[in-house]
């Protein structure tokens, strides 16, 4: 058996495309992150995992500068995100691609125009070149023949693949996936898994995958971080996390109902609240 995943070293500063150092963030007085340290290695697929409510999507919002950390430093490709103004954030995001949980396709535009949208917004390329790029990206996800379908005519798996084509149309250095496996049938899931891996390797980009799907992440990621209680509780390869003996890691990786992570959100005593007919505050 390998050693505990928590002992696995983080990528060095020279290898980290994204680096979080001592990051703290709270909402309404409730701490989401408490001195969080994470390094996303260049050219690799890194998974961010954790139980629901651990702030996985919030982490992506911090990395992309949609919200600001209360403390600590977040760097993307050597740039301190916390020091950027709106123009600086706009430039930084041009080097990122984002696959949202629900795909977030523009419903009034067909597949072709959805994929072309970032090119029209951020470049002055001639239409002939836009067409070539869009068709290349659609071909990469197997949907060149669906170019003139509307989002409402697509299956869930097809919509996710169109969203991926749009995410890579600007050839980003960093590609971010927020729960890319949610709601996919087994065939679509297999396609998306292969696309994420092949896209990362073929384009030489860096990928961050936020998910709680342990089996899929184990087959995909080069490295994984497990978050709980506002901190990293384990980090390493998926094999290292699967071999970790700590109770919280075993509970999450094994999908166990009982363990350190409680199913119930913190609340007053159940019997006392029912008997006293106390109204929740």
pLDDT score recorded for residue 49: 85
Higher pLDDT, 211 or 73: 73
pLDDT score recorded for residue 153: 93
pLDDT score recorded for residue 262: 53
pLDDT score recorded for residue 1: 38
Q: How far, in Å, are 58, 74, 83, 93, 228 from residue 25 at the CA level?
A: 9, 12, 16, 21, 14
DSSP letters spanning 204-270? T-EEEEE---HHHHHHH-SEEEEEETTEEEEEE-HHHHHH--SHHHHHHHHT-SSSSS-SSPS-S-H
Going along the chain from its start, the domains and CATH numbers come out as 14-95+174-191+201-281 (3.40.50.300), 105-171 (no CATH)
CA distance 211 to 119: 28
Residue 9 has pLDDT above 60, yes or no: no
pLDDT score recorded for residue 5: 45
Q: 209: which 2 tokens?
A: 């995958």
pLDDT score recorded for residue 205: 87
Confidence of residue 73 (pLDDT cuts 50, 70, 90): very high
pLDDT score recorded for residue 78: 87
List, for residues 14-48, the tens digit of each pLDDT value. Answer: 578 899 999 999 988 888 898 999 999 999 999 99
pLDDT score recorded for residue 4: 42
pLDDT score recorded for residue 110: 94
Q: Are 233 and 6 in contact (CB under 8 A)?
A: yes
Q: How far, in Å, are 50, 116, 246, 261, 268 from residue 264 at the CA level?
A: 16, 45, 21, 9, 11
Residue 203 has pLDDT above 70, yes or no: yes
pLDDT score recorded for residue 261: 57
% of the chain at pLDDT higher than 90: 31
Residue 103 has pLDDT above 80, yes or no: no
Give the mean pLDDT of 70-75.
Answer: 93
pTM value is 0.79
Confidence of residue 279 (pLDDT cuts 50, 70, 90): low
Residue found by looking up tokens 């916390």 in the block: 82
pLDDT score recorded for residue 11: 55
pLDDT score recorded for residue 7: 41
Residue found by looking up tokens 């996919």 in the block: 184
Q: How far, in Å, are 7, 158, 213, 227 from residue 41 at the CA level?
A: 17, 29, 21, 17
CA distance 253 to 229: 16
pLDDT score recorded for residue 254: 60
Q: 200: which 2 tokens?
A: 């990362």
Give the mean pLDDT of 39-63.
Answer: 87
- H helix or E strand, kind and range, residue 111: helix 111-122
């Amino acid at each position: 058996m390998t050693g505990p995943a928590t002992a696995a070293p983080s990528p060095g500063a020279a290898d980290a495309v994204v680096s979080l150092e001592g990051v703290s963030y709270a909402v309404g007085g409730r701490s989401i992150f408490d001195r969080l340290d994470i390094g996303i290695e260049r050219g690799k697929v890194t998974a961010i995992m954790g139980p629901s409510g651990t702030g996985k999507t919030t982490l992506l919002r911090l990395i992309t500068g949609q919200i600001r950390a209360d403390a600590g430093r977040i760097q993307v490709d050597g740039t301190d995100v916390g020091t950027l103004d709106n123009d600086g954030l706009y430039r930084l995001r041009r080097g990122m691609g984002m696959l949202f949980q629900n795909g977030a396709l523009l419903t009034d535009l067909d597949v072709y125009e959805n994929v072309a949208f970032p090119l029209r917004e951020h470049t002055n390329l001639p239409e002939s070149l836009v067409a070539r790029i869009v068709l290349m990206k659609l071909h990469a996800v197997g949907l060149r023949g669906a170019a003139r379908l509307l989002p409402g005519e697509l299956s869930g798996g097809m919509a996710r693949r169109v969203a991926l084509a749009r995410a890579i149309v600007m050839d980003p250095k960093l590609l971010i996936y927020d729960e890319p496996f949610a709601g996919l049938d087994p065939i679509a899931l297999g396609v998306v898994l292969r696309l994420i891996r092949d896209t990362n390797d073929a384009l030489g980009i860096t990928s961050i995958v936020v998910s709680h799907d342990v089996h899929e992440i184990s087959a995909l990621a080069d490295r994984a971080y497990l978050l709980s209680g506002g901190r990293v509780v384990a980090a390493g390869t998926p094999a290292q996390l699967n071999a970790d003996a700590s109770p919280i890691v075993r509970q999450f990786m094994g999908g166990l109902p009982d363990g350190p992570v409680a199913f119930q959100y913190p609340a007053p005593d159940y019997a006392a609240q029912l008997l006293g007919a106390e109204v929740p505050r």
